[in-house]
Homo-oligomer: A and B are copies of this chain.
Amino acid sequence: MRHAVLGTGMVGKAIASKLRSLDHDVTMGSRTADNAAATAWAAETGGRAATFADAAAWAEVVWNCTSGGASLEALALAGADNLAGKILIDLANPLDFSQGFPPILSITGRDSLGEQIQRRFPQARVVKTLNTMNCLLMVDPGRVPEATEVFVSGDDAQAKAAVVEILRSFGWAAPIDLGDISTSRGTEAWLPLWVRLYGALGTPDFNMKLVRAT
């Protein structure tokens, strides 16, 4: 399957490399076709580097691995036409670091970045997932010694089912479907607690497991 991974940071590299290791065709997208990080990644992995637009036009599945504050602009550069009908997997969180650490959410209440992306690109099939954890864990859930949780949010049931299959191929046994894209409000709101847990535990290398009464 042809995957465009938009973003050349730690999240983009982790996702793109995992997809390559699973024998997918992967293009890392960035603002310019000759982005140094993207071309270096492509040379190492047998993937490709391209502009946001060329990567999205070519792909069947598009991953938004840009930072939350830059996501709408990056996706606009990718182009609404190039995203139409595609599964658009959104991993970004709307974090505001303008006053340093810890960041706060720049979107709260009755909206979320996931919903903003779906509204701005109504023909894309947006699925929010993996935004509740460190990128090392996203692609290697066995890093922690028990099965922990990953969530999916989205309006398109078929797109969510396809993303669940991809997550299973990453090692996630039982992704939890939270419901429509408005449930992104929930997973994005995890971040203010996640950063405090990072501080208290002294590591970002953790995840939550939900335990129910029997």
Distance of A99 Cα from B109 Cα, bound (Å): 11
**Would you list which residues of chain A between 11 and 31 have a CB under 8 Å from chain B?**
none
**Would you list which residues of chain A between 133 and 181 have a CB under 8 Å from chain B?**
137, 143-146, 148, 176-179
Q: Is the CB of B178 within 8 A of A199?
A: yes
Q: Is the CB of A179 within 8 A of B206?
A: no
Q: Is the CB of B196 within 8 A of A205?
A: no
Q: Is the CB of B196 within 8 A of A183?
A: yes
Q: Is the CB of A211 within 8 A of B200?
A: no
Contacts of A187 in B (CB 8 A): 193, 196
Instruction: Contacts A145-B214, A192-B186 given; indicate if A197 touches B209 (C-beta within 8 A).
Output: no
Contacts of A195 in B (CB 8 A): 186
Interface size class of A (residues with CB under 8 A): 35 or more
Distance of A210 Cα from B146 Cα, bound (Å): 10
Contacts of A10 in B (CB 8 A): none
Q: Is A105 an interface residue (CB 8 A)?
A: yes
Distance of A178 Cα from B183 Cα, bound (Å): 26
Closest chain B residue to A201, Cβ basis: B212
Distance of A187 Cα from B191 Cα, bound (Å): 10
Q: Is the CB of B200 within 8 A of A206?
A: no
List 16 A-B pairs, Cβ < 8 Å: A99-B110, A104-B108, A105-B108, A145-B214, A176-B200, A176-B201, A179-B200, A185-B192, A186-B193, A189-B193, A197-B210, A201-B212, A203-B213, A206-B211, A206-B213, A208-B210
Report which A residues bind B (CB closer than 8 A). Answer: 99, 104-105, 108-110, 137, 143-146, 148, 176-179, 183, 185-187, 189-197, 199-201, 203, 205-214
Known pairs A146-B209, A176-B200, A176-B201. 12 more at Cβ < 8 A? A104-B108, A104-B109, A104-B185, A108-B108, A178-B199, A185-B192, A185-B196, A189-B189, A189-B193, A205-B212, A206-B210, A208-B208
